[in-house]
Amino acid sequence: MQRIRLRYTKRGRLRFTSHRDFQRAFERALRRAEVPMAYSAGFTPHPKVSYANAAPTGTGSEAEYLEIALTAPRDPERLRVLLDESLPTGLDVVEAVEARTPGLADRLTASVWELRLAGVDAAEAERAVAAFNGAGSVEVQRLTKNGMRTFDARPAVASLESADAHGSAADGPTDQPCAILRLVVRHVTPAVRPDDVLSGLRAVADLAPPVPVAVTRLAQGLFDEETGTVTDPLAPDREAAATEPHPADATAAATAPA
C-alpha cells in the first residue's frame, strides 16, 4: 500500500466551504482522476483519506494537509496534477510527496495566520497588539455545543505582530486603511482560533474592525521553540526520498542479474 501526502489550498470564495463540503469534492476528484484508492473494511467501505487539522469555515488557507492510501503505486507529482485538475479553482492541490516517515499529524503543532483588518489604522492595530502581548492572560468566550465556555487564549499565542500590507496573501480593497497582523498560534487544548485572538484584542484594547476580518492560514507544521518559526511538515518525507531508494527501484536492483 502506497501512502501519498498532499498540501492543498482554500482560496477566494472557496474559503467559505465547510470541511464536509471539501470531503465530498475531494472524493469526487478521486473518482474522476481514477485514483486506485484503498478502502476501509466493514459494511460501509470508504476511501482511506486522513485529514489533518482542517481550517475553520470562512478562513482561507495555503497549507491544508491530508494523506491518502493507494492499492497501486502512482507518481506523486502526476497524481497531484490529476487531482488538481479535478477540483474547482480555489481548492488547489499544490504539493504531493510519498509518505516515507510516520506521524504527519504529530508534526502539525502550530499555524501561521494572516489577519487582514480592513478599516483599521496600522497605529491602532499596533497599540492593540502591544496590549495583547503585554497581558498575562486574555480571557475570551466561545459558544460551544455545551454552552458558553471561557478560557485563556494568551498561552497558545507564540507571537502576534503587525506585518507589512504589501505581499499579503488575502485579497481585499486597498482604498481604505488596512492593518495586517501576523499570528503564530500553537495547537493546544482547548484549540485557540484566530477569531479567539480577535476577541482577545477586543477585550484588552477595544479593537473592533468595522467589517469582517479576512483570515488566511499561511503555514502549519512543527513549531521550533528556539527560532519561533513553523517548519514544513513534508520536509522529512522529501529528505527521506532523497536518501532512500524507492521500493520499486530496490526490488529491481535486487533481482537484476549480476
Three-state DSSP at 59 gives: coil
DSSP state of 16: G
Tell me how far apart the alpha carbons of residues 10 and 69 are, in angstroms, rounded to a whole number: 22
Dist. CA 4–CA 114, nearest whole Å:
28
Do the strands 229-230 and 223-224 form a parallel or antiparallel pair, or are they unpaired? Answer: antiparallel
- CA-wise closest residue to 11 among 252, 246, 216: 216
Number of H helices, E strands in the chain: 6, 12
Domains, the chain, in order of start with CATH, read: 2-105 (3.30.70.580), 108-230 (3.30.70)
Residue 11: predicted pLDDT: 96
Provide the CB-side half-sphere exposure for 36 (13 A, CA): 10
Q: Which pTM value belongs to this model?
A: 0.88
> Cell 465547510 identifies what position?
18
- Going residue by residue through the chain (258 aa), what tens digit of pLDDT does each one get? 899 999 999 999 999 999 999 999 999 999 999 999 999 988 888 999 999 999 999 999 999 999 999 999 999 999 999 999 999 999 999 999 999 999 999 999 999 999 999 999 999 999 999 999 999 999 999 888 888 999 999 999 999 999 875 445 544 555 689 999 999 999 998 899 999 999 999 999 999 999 999 999 999 999 999 998 999 999 999 999 888 765 545 444 434 444
How confident is the model at residue 143, as a pLDDT? 84
pLDDT at 1: 86
Cis peptide before 190 (omega within 30 of 0): yes
Identify the CA nearest to 138 among candidates 118, 123, 153, 121. 153
What's the CA gap between 121 and 15, in Å, rounded? 25
What's the confidence (pLDDT) of residue 195? Answer: 95
Q: What is the pLDDT of residue 42?
A: 84
Which pLDDT value is given to residue 166? 47
Cell of 50: 486522513
Rounded to whole angstroms, the Cα distance separating 110 from 108 reads 6
